[in-house]
Amino acid sequence: MTAAVVSELGVPGTLRVGINLGNILLVTGRSRNGDPQGVAPDLAAAIAERLGVAVSYVTFDTPGEVADAVARDVWDIGLIAEEPKRAETIAFCDAYVEIEATYLVPADSPLRSIADVDRPGVRIAVSDRAAYDLYLSRTLKHAELRRAKGLAGAFELFKAEKLEALAGLVPALRENSGSLPGSRLLSGRYTSVRQAVGTKPANHALKSFVQQFIAEAKASGLIAGLIEKHGVTGKLQVAASA
CATH class of 98-191: alpha beta
Cβ atoms of 54 and 172 within 8 Å: the answer is: no
DSSP string, 110-136: ---SHHHHSSTT-EEEEETT-HHHHHH
Predicted model pTM:
0.85
Exposure string over 139-176, b if 16+ CB within 10 A, otherwise e:
ebeebeebbbbbbebbbebbbeeebbbbbbbbebbeeb
Q: How does pLDDT run across 202-234, given as a tens digit for each residue?
A: 999 999 999 999 999 999 999 999 999 999 998
Residue 184: name the closest of 116, 88, 89 by CA: 116
pLDDT at position 2 is 84
Q: Which pLDDT band, with edges at 50, 70 and 90, does 153 fall under?
A: very high
Q: How does pLDDT run across 63-117, given as a tens digit for each residue?
A: 999 999 999 999 999 999 999 999 999 999 999 999 999 999 999 999 999 999 9
Query: What backbone phi and psi angles, to 5 degrees, belong to 214?
Result: -60, -45
Q: Return the H-helix or E-strand segment holding 63.
A: helix 63-68
Amino acid sitting at position 36: P
- Domain limits of the chain? 2-97+194-238, 98-191
Exposure string over 43-81, b if 16+ CB within 10 A, otherwise e:
bbbbbbebbebebebebbebbbbbbeebeeeebbbbbbb
- What CATH number has the domain spanning 2-97+194-238? 3.40.190.10
pLDDT at position 176 is 95
Same fold flag, 2-97+194-238 and 98-191: yes
Q: Return the H-helix or E-strand segment holding 41.
A: helix 39-51
Beta bridge partners of 30: 36
